[in-house]
Structure 1
Amino acid sequence: MARINIVHTTEYSYRNPVGLTRHRLMLRPRDSHDLRLNSVTLAVHPTPAKMRYAHDVFDNSICYLEWAEPLRTKELSIVSTLDLTHYPIGAALPVYSLDPAAELFPFSYASEEVPDLGRLTERQQPDPNRTVDAFARRFVSGPGETRTLQLLEDMTHAIKAELTYGARHEEGTQTAAQTLELGTGTCRDFAMLMIEAIRSLGLAARFVSGYLYDDLTGTQRGGGSTHAWVSVYLPGAGWVEYDPTNGLIAGANLVRVCETRTPQQALPVAGGYFGEAADFLAMNVCVSVSAAPVPVAAQRAG
């Protein structure tokens, strides 16, 4: 259990004054059994004429910003500050109780769950040489010999061990096949590789975006910006989180902000401007995450 403070700053600069289109923000987590929001502050300059919250198709919290004409500006600053308490299941777990029928792979989802899982079980990217299929099958033994949780843990650790992490600030995500071919990628690339591999096995998986806080070892990868990982639907356990970039399981050190079908649906800040293409100068993003353990007495009091 930890008290987490997150400051996420996004700054745009323009050569000439420009108008701003509506912006869409995905910066606010949802309260849950493992996450409690203590306070949320959103500071925007120039000040928008309208700010409203809504839920998207996945029930993520969305904030829309709109500016009135004839506003023109040479800069846009968006600063999200979160104070929250995190109750992770922990790296030493999970000791999940799967439905007996799901303890061994392969298994089938219950008929009443299949329509709701929908496209989360479907591949979203091309795999022309079936390299992703081959990667996924590495972790499957003979019929009745593959334990579901072990399969997912082994895949998580293999991605971390076998691929090279490298930060990439350009927009976009590699396909799972490209990541295997290149042998390198970012956290979002590794997440999509694991998602596509899991979906190739017929399981439902979601793309998760949020923040990573330090485990005090200094060995974690993907900090200093938003982070990406995976959640998998397992009967009896529900949605279980896996971070292939760092080999983390069950949400330890991970603060979930949103869950989507694809990375394109999980942009923290999206919007545009009215002006010339040459007017855009730069976008700078800075994420600061600090964590402090909650004293045992305070945990009991809460």
Structure 2
Amino acid sequence: MARISIVHSTEYAYRNPVGLTRHRLMLRPDDSHDLRLHHAALAVDPHPSLIHWTHDAFDNSICVLEWPETLRTERLSIVSTLELTHHPDGPPAPVYSLDPSAEAFPFVYAPDEIPDLASLAEPQTPDPDRTVEAWARRFVGEKGKARTLAVLEAMTHAIKAEFRYEARHEEGTQTAAETITLGSGTCRDFAVLMMEALRSFRVAARFVTGYLYDDTSGTTRGGGSTHAWCNVYLPGAGWMEYDPTNGLIAGSNLVRVGVARSAAQALPVAGGYIGSPDDSIGLSVDVAVRAVPI
């Protein structure tokens, strides 16, 4: 358990004064059994004429910002400050919680769960040569003998060990097949790879956006930016978190902010401007995380 302070700063710079379109923010986590939010503040400059909070289709907390049509600015600054307590779930899916029907991999969901999980268990990115499926099958071996928790753990550690982490600040995410071919990617690319590998077996997985902290040293990890991983639905155990970038399992050191079916649905800050294409001259993102064990 840790008391955590997070300051997430996003700043856009423009060559000429521009107008601002509606912006959508996914920066505030919701209270849960593993997270208690004590304080959340949002500072925006220039100040919006409308700030509206809502929940999306995945029940994430979403903030919508709008500015007057007459506004023109050469910069946009968004600073989110959070104070929270994190209670990691601990070891993944202990024997007493994982349903016996899911102990062997691959498993099949119960009929009453399939309608709710169907879209999350379908591959979302192209894999015309079945590259992802072939990569995923190396973790299963002989049918009926693979154990679910062992497969998930092996896949998590293999991505960390076998792929190069390369920071990329451009928008967008590689397909899982592209990541395998390149042998490298960002945290969001690795999350998508693990999700698509599991979805090739019709296992439900979601993209998670949030923050990574080190509860041993109290220093920031994850390159001073937001972090991404995935969670997997296991009958009996529920949604379990896996971070293939760092080989972390079951939510340790991970502060979940939002979940979605795809990476494109989980952008921390999304929006645009009214002006020329070359008016955008800079984007800087800084995330400072301070964790103190309790």
TM-score normalised according to structure 1 size: 0.94
CA distance in 1, matches of 2:188, 2:40: 25
Q: 1:87 to 1:223 in 2, by over 3 A?
A: farther
Identity level (%) = 68
Q: Is the 8 A contact 1:164 1:185 kept in 2?
A: yes
* Alignment partner, residue 246 of structure 1: 246
CA distance in 2, matches of 1:193, 1:249: 16
Q: Is the 8 A contact 1:221 1:245 kept in 2?
A: no
Deviation, 1:221, is 6.3
* Alignment partner, residue 115 of structure 2: 115
Structure 2 unmatched ranges of 5 or more: none
Matched residue of 1:136: which SS?
helix
The answer to whether structure 1 residue 130 and structure 2 residue 130 are counterparts is yes
1:291 is aligned with what amino acid?
Answer: A
Matches within 5 A, 1:33-52: 33-52=33-52
Q: Is the 8 A contact 1:179 1:190 kept in 2?
A: yes
1:53-83 residue CA offsets vs partner (Å, 9 max, x unmatched): 0001111010000111311111110000000
CA distance in 1, matches of 2:125, 2:27: 26
CA distance in 1, matches of 2:25, 2:264: 13
Matched residue of 1:129: which SS?
coil
CA distance in 2, matches of 1:106, 1:181: 25
Q: 1:166 to 1:216 in 2, by over 3 A?
A: farther
Q: Is the 8 A contact 2:206 2:261 kept in 1?
A: yes
CA distance in 2, matches of 1:16, 1:47: 19
* Alignment partner, residue 78 of structure 2: 78
Q: Is the 8 A contact 1:165 1:221 kept in 2?
A: no
CA distance in 2, matches of 1:125, 1:173: 10
Q: Is the 8 A contact 1:22 1:65 kept in 2?
A: yes
1:223-279 residue CA offsets vs partner (Å, 9 max, x unmatched): 410101010000000000000000000000000000001110011111111111222
CA distance in 2, matches of 1:168, 1:219: 22
Matched residue of 2:197: which SS?
helix
Of the structure 1 ranges 97-106 and 177-186, higher mean CA displacement relative to structure 2 is found in 97-106
**CA RMSD of superposed structures (Å):** 1.5
Of the structure 1 ranges 146-155 and 272-281, higher mean CA displacement relative to structure 2 is found in 272-281
Structure 1 runs (4+) deviating above 6 angstroms are: 217-221
1:150 is aligned with what amino acid?
Answer: A
1:190-214 residue CA offsets vs partner (Å, 9 max, x unmatched): 0000000000011000000100012
Deviation, 1:118, is 2.0
Deviation, 1:127, is 1.2
Q: Is the 8 A contact 2:139 2:154 kept in 1?
A: yes
Structure 1 unmatched ranges of 5 or more: 295-302
The answer to whether structure 1 residue 17 and structure 2 residue 17 are counterparts is yes
Deviation, 1:215, is 4.1
CA distance in 1, matches of 2:98, 2:213: 28
Q: 1:152 to 1:271 in 2, by over 3 A?
A: same
Q: Is the 8 A contact 1:94 1:249 kept in 2?
A: no
Q: Is the 8 A contact 2:220 2:288 kept in 1?
A: no
* Alignment partner, residue 267 of structure 1: 267
CA distance in 2, matches of 1:285, 1:223: 10
